[in-house]
Amino acid sequence: MWIVGALVMVAIILPLFLVAVIPLGVVYYLIQRFYIPGTRKIQSFEGALRSPMFAHFSETLNGLSEC
């Protein structure tokens, strides 16, 4: 709410500010629309790949300490 309030106040004082904010808002929305699903997929892949990798690494370290 603070950010929206600040933007409204600036827009009231400087109406030309809206000329820059509206296109930037559209660009931000488009970037988020593509970025968020990609990030979720990457985190899913990372979680699937990391678990076996750390398990193997842990087993390797346990084997080294017994030698």
Q: Domain ranges in the chain?
A: 18-66
Sign of the four-CA dihedral 52, 55, 61, 63: negative
Model-level pTM greater than 0.85?
Answer: no
Q: Which amino acid appears at position 54 of this protein? A: F
Cα distances (Å, whole numbers) of residue 21 to 24, 25, 27, 31, 42: 5, 6, 10, 15, 31
Q: Specify the pLDDT at position 57.
A: 78
The tens digit of pLDDT for each residue in 26-39 reads 999 999 998 999 88
Indicate the residue type of 27: V
Q: Is 90 exceeded by the pLDDT of residue 55?
A: no
